[in-house]
Amino acid sequence: MQISYKHICKITIPVLVSLLVEYLIGFTDTAYLGRVGETELAASALAGTYYMIIYMIGFGFSIGAQILIARYNGSRQYSRTGEVFTQGTIFLLLVATLLFTLSYLYSPVVLRFLIDSEQVYLATISYLNWRIYGFFFSFIIVMFRAFFIGTVNTKILTINSIVMVLTNIILNYILIFGKLGFPALGIAGAAIASSISEAVAVIFFLVYTRLQIDDQKYCLFQSLNVNRSILKKVLDISIWMMIQHGLVFGGWFVFFLTVEHLGERSLATTNIVRNISSFLFMFVQAFASVNSSLVSNLIGEGKSDKVMKLCRKSILLCYLFVLPVALFIAIYPNLVLRTFTNNIGLITYSIPPLLVMLSSYLIAVPTFVWFCAVSGTGNTLSSLRIAVVSLFIYISYITTVVSYIPNLVLLWASEHIYFSGLLILSLYFLLYHNWKHTKL
């Protein structure tokens, strides 16, 4: 496998485009709801983050499966890549059923205890009552993404994402505002649109896989029975990624709850800044996730000595994408913020935390490339330990700030703290631990 700049870009660009297109789902939700009201905008921030905590359990599992798929792909054990994908999909559908049931029964109780504002609470529940249906579809989607990235076949991700986002944009307009004879559902309409768009994406993946992927080569869906030995192998790697991603977004939820205590305007502002940050993070996530897969492929090929060089190239390429975009946003913040809301007061209030968030990406780029390289080596327990230590420092900073200096700008500076912790610990692991011959 090549690790030239051209080859890295060839694999990463389709992933990046697919992520950016999918970002439009959250963007359109926020842009539409920003014109409904600040309460709906604030509630969508809490509801979206709460949903993502649960979603990240499935996403973390898929990252572990992706590492294993990439390792088998690198060692040319193609049939085993399909077995991992099939067993992973079956397992995640069972997990989705459990999480849907628990969320339906207990989310209202948990959120009632955590959210101060009655209006924000009611709007949050209105969103989640429909959004949780998306677990079944989104968990299948993450397994398809793990398979295509792990086998270095990423072009289809772009087309699938375009189909999904177009469906979401159209349904958002119809259901949020009540067009074409439908009632105006507000924030509930945004949730319904997102879940349906994910269902459409699953159908697209299934049709494409049936028509274009060699079933005999990859052994896809040849047996729908649970294979305990394969599932155990996947879980040995994935369990730590599931816990890790759940904890990381749990930290985000703590952040949003902390901001919620500062008032609806601070929460609405944070939702806007988070959406802009999510746009930038798509670039980082694309390069970091592909880098993780390439690291696993290299080790599978017996070329672990090239891993550090690969990471350095991925970091440089990621900077070339991220820095111009961040600079544009910093120079024209009003222009960017107007795409989310036409409230002048909210726009003005959002500029300082926006600038603080943008500066954190100077650290975020190398942080996540190195951090994902750790999981790419197969040492997912070490990756979890790094995340837990960094998260502890992050939450300690947040609770200290809100207790003594409750300021939104200082709260957003927590990103610098978190990224720095991840960066230092990830580099330490890669430089001083024996990971080059990790067996999966």
Residue 391 is assigned to a structural domain of this protein: yes
Q: Which pLDDT belongs to residue 17?
A: 79
Asked whether residue 427 carries a pLDDT value surpassing 90, the answer given is: yes
pLDDT higher for 170 or 252? 170
Given this model, what pLDDT does residue 438 score? 66
Q: What would the mean pLDDT of 318-338 be, rounded to a whole number?
A: 94
Q: In this predicted structure, what is the pLDDT of residue 282? A: 87
**What does the pLDDT look like over 186-198, one tens digit per residue?**
888 988 998 999 9
Question: Quick check: is 415 in a domain?
Answer: yes
pLDDT for position 16: 83
Q: What is the pLDDT of residue 22?
A: 66
pLDDT at residue 334, as a whole number: 92
The yes-or-no verdict on residue 13 having pLDDT over 90 is: no
Domain holding 96, by residue range, is 5-432
Percent of the chain surpassing pLDDT 90: 32
Tokens 């007061």 — which residue? 345
The mean pLDDT value for 408-422 works out to 92
- pLDDT band for position 34 (cuts 50, 70, 90): low
Which residues neighbour 171 within 8 Å (Cβ) at sequence distance 6 or greater?
A: 189, 192, 193, 196, 197
User: The tokens of 334 are what?
Assistant: 């009003």
Global pTM exceeds 0.85: no
Q: What percent of the chain has pLDDT over 70?
A: 95
Tokens of 306: 């090239």
Contacts of 279 (CB under 8 A, 6+ apart): 20, 23, 27, 325
- Judging by beta carbons within 10 Å of its beta carbon (0-12, 13-18, 19+), is residue 10 exposed, middle or buried? middle
Instruction: State the amino acid at position 9 in one-letter form.
Output: C
Query: What is d(CA 378, CA 382) in angstroms, rounded to the nearest whole number?
Result: 9
- Tell me the pLDDT of the chain averaged across its residues: 86
Q: How far is CA 242 from the centre of its chain?
A: 12
Q: Which residue has the higher pLDDT, 275 or 370?
A: 370
Residue 105: inside a domain = yes
**CA angle at 239 for the pair 225 and 216, rounded to the nearest 5°:** 35
Q: Reduce the DSSP state of residue 9 to 3 states and report it.
A: helix
pLDDT band at 433 (very low <50, low <70, confident <90, very high): confident
- Asked whether residue 90 is domain-assigned, the answer is yes
In whole angstroms, give the CA distance from residue 15 to residue 35: 31
CB 288 within 8 A of CB 376: no
Lowest mean pLDDT among 31-35, 156-160, 287-291: 31-35
Our measurement of the distance from residue 162's CA atom to the centroid of its chain's CA atoms, rounded to an integer in Å, reads 17
How many domains does the chain fold into? 1
pLDDT at 171: 92
**Predicted confidence (pLDDT) at residue 33 exceeds the cutoff of 80:** no
Give the tens place of pLDDT for each residue, 157-174.
888 888 888 898 899 889
Backbone angles phi, psi at 301, to 5 degrees: -85, 0
> What is the number of residues in the chain?
440
pLDDT the model gives residue 368: 94
Whole-angstrom Cα distance, residue 92 to residue 157? Answer: 20
The pLDDT of residue 144: 94
pLDDT in tens, 17-27: 777 776 677 66
Q: What sections of 75-133 are H helices per DSSP?
A: 78-114, 118-131
Does residue 312 lie within any of the structural domains? Answer: yes
How many CB atoms sit inside 10 A of residue 359's CB?
15
Residue 440 in any domain: the answer is: no
The predicted structure's pLDDT at residue 388:
92
Burial code of 99-110, b = ≥16 C-beta within 10 A, e = fewer?
Answer: bbeebeeebeee
Tokens linked to 210: 């049936």
Pairwise CA distance, residues 104 & 94, whole Å? 16
pLDDT single digits (tens) 67-123: 888 888 878 888 888 888 998 999 999 999 999 999 999 988 888 887 877 888 888
Residue 437 lies in a domain: no
Mention every residue, 6+ apart, whose C-beta is less than 8 A from residue 182: 174, 175
Instruction: Give the Cα separation of 284 and 31 in Å (integer).
Output: 23
- Phi-psi region for residue 37, left (φ > 0), alpha (ψ -120 to 50) or beta? left
How does pLDDT run across 208-220, given as a tens digit for each residue?
A: 988 888 777 887 7
pLDDT in tens, 51-69: 877 887 888 888 888 888 8
Confidence (pLDDT) at 100: 94
Q: How many CB atoms lie within 10 A of CB 198?
A: 24
Residue 43: inside a domain? yes
pLDDT value of position 321: 93
Average pLDDT for 341-351: 86
